[in-house]
Chain A
Amino acid sequence: MLRYVIRRLLQFIPTVLGTLFLLHYLTSLAIQFTGNPVRAIFGDRNPNPQVLEQMTREFGLDDRCLTRKFDPCFSLFGERLNNIFLHFDFGQSLFPQRAVTDILDDSVWYTARLALIAFLIEVFIGLGAGVLAGLRSGSFADYVVRIATVLMISIPIFVLGVLARQFIGVWFGNIVRNDWGAPDWLGRGVFGAAYKPEYPWLSLLVPGIVLGSLTIATTARLTRSSLLENLRADYVRTAKSKGLAPKRVIGVHTLRNSLIPVVTALGLSLGAYLSGAVVTEGIFRVPGVGFTILTAVTRGEASVLLGITTFLVLVYLTVNLLVDMLYAVLDPRIRYE
Chain B
Amino acid sequence: MSDTIIGQTEPTLPGLAPEPLRERNASLWADARRDLIRNPTFVIAAVYVLIVASMATVPQLWTRIHYRTCELTNAQGLPNAKLPMFSPGHWLGTSEVGCDYWSLSVYGARPSMLIAVMSTFGIVAIGLPLGVLAGYFGGWLDAVISRLVDIVFALPFLLVGLVVLSIIKVTDPNQRIWTVTLFLVLLGWTTVARIMRGSVISVKNLDFVMAAKALGASHGRLMFRHILPNAIAPVFVIATVALGGFVATEATLTFLGVGLQAPAASWGIMISSHQPLINDYPHLVLIPCALLIGTVLSFVLIGDALRDALDPKLR
The answer on A and B forming one complex is yes
Chain A residues within CB distance 8 Å of chain B: 14-15, 18-19, 22-23, 26-27, 30-31, 33-35, 37, 39-40, 150-151, 153-159, 162-163, 166, 170, 271, 274-276, 278-279, 282, 293-294, 297-298, 300, 302, 305-306, 309, 312-313, 316-317, 320
A150 and B158 contacting across the interface, CB-CB below 8 Å: no
- A316 contacts across to B, CB distance below 8 A: 154, 156
B152 and A305 contacting across the interface, CB-CB below 8 Å: no
- B168 contacts across to A, CB distance below 8 A: 30, 33-34
Interface residue B164 (Cβ < 8 Å from any Cβ of A): yes
Question: What is the CA–CA distance of A154 and B243 in the complex, to the nearest angstrom?
Answer: 12
Select one of B162, B186, B278 contacting A297, CB under 8 A.
Answer: B162
Select one of B186, B244, B252 contacting A154, CB under 8 A.
Answer: B244
Q: How many residues of B contact A (CB 8 A)?
A: 44
Select one of A271, A279, A300, A313 contacting B252, CB under 8 A.
Answer: A279
Select one of A18, A34, A306 contacting B169, CB under 8 A.
Answer: A34
- B248 contacts across to A, CB distance below 8 A: 154, 156
Question: What is the CA–CA distance of A275 and B154 in the complex, to the nearest angstrom?
Answer: 12
Q: Which residue in chain A gives the minimum CB-CB distance to B151?
A: A18
Knowing A154-B297, A162-B275, A305-B162 touch, does A22 contact B257 (C-beta < 8 A)? Answer: no
- B81 contacts across to A, CB distance below 8 A: none
A150 and B301 contacting across the interface, CB-CB below 8 Å: yes
Question: What is the CA–CA distance of A316 and B271 in the complex, to the nearest angstrom?
Answer: 30
- A14 contacts across to B, CB distance below 8 A: 147
The 26 sampled A-B contact pairs (Cβ below 8 Å) are A15-B154, A18-B151, A23-B160, A30-B164, A31-B167, A33-B168, A34-B170, A40-B169, A150-B297, A150-B300, A151-B297, A153-B300, A154-B293, A156-B252, A158-B251, A158-B255, A159-B271, A162-B275, A166-B279, A294-B257, A305-B167, A309-B160, A312-B156, A313-B155, A313-B156, A316-B156
Question: What is the CA–CA distance of A44 and B167 in the complex, to the nearest angstrom?
Answer: 16
Knowing A158-B251, A166-B282, A317-B154 touch, does A312 contact B159 (C-beta < 8 A)? Answer: yes
B151 and A15 contacting across the interface, CB-CB below 8 Å: yes
Select one of A19, A27, A37 contacting B154, CB under 8 A.
Answer: A19
Question: What is the CA–CA distance of A291 and B169 in the complex, to the nearest angstrom?
Answer: 22
- B257 contacts across to A, CB distance below 8 A: 294, 297-298
Q: Which residue in chain B gives the minimum CB-CB distance to A149?
A: B300
B167 and A37 contacting across the interface, CB-CB below 8 Å: yes
Interface residue B104 (Cβ < 8 Å from any Cβ of A): no
Interface residue B1 (Cβ < 8 Å from any Cβ of A): no
Question: What is the CA–CA distance of A31 and B297 in the complex, to the nearest angstrom?
Answer: 36
Question: What is the CA–CA distance of A158 and B162 in the complex, to the nearest angstrom?
Answer: 14
Work out how many contacts link A and B, with CB atoms closer than 8 A: 133
- A276 contacts across to B, CB distance below 8 A: 158
A293 and B159 contacting across the interface, CB-CB below 8 Å: yes
Interface residue B285 (Cβ < 8 Å from any Cβ of A): yes
Interface residue B49 (Cβ < 8 Å from any Cβ of A): no
Q: A14-B147, A156-B292, A279-B252 are in contact. List 9 more A-B contacts (CB 8 A).
A: A154-B248, A155-B296, A157-B252, A162-B289, A274-B159, A297-B257, A306-B163, A309-B159, A309-B162
Knowing A150-B304, A282-B256 touch, does A155 contact B154 (C-beta < 8 A)? Answer: no
Interface residue B74 (Cβ < 8 Å from any Cβ of A): no
Q: Which residue in chain B gives the minimum CB-CB distance to A31?
A: B167
B256 and A278 contacting across the interface, CB-CB below 8 Å: yes
Contact flags B135-167 to A (C-beta < 8 A → 1, else 0): 000000000000110111011111110111111
A297 and B275 contacting across the interface, CB-CB below 8 Å: no
Whole-angstrom distance from the CB of B281 to the nearest CB of chain A? 12
Interface residue B227 (Cβ < 8 Å from any Cβ of A): no
A15 and B296 contacting across the interface, CB-CB below 8 Å: no
Question: What is the CA–CA distance of A159 and B287 in the complex, to the nearest angstrom?
Answer: 11
B279 and A170 contacting across the interface, CB-CB below 8 Å: yes
User: Which 10 residue pairs of A and B lie closest in terms of their CB atoms, listed nearest first?
Assistant: A275-B158, A154-B297, A18-B151, A30-B167, A156-B248, A154-B296, A34-B169, A297-B166, A30-B168, A305-B163
Whole-angstrom distance from the CB of B143 to the nearest CB of chain A? 11
Whole-angstrom distance from the CB of A59 to the nearest CB of chain B? 12
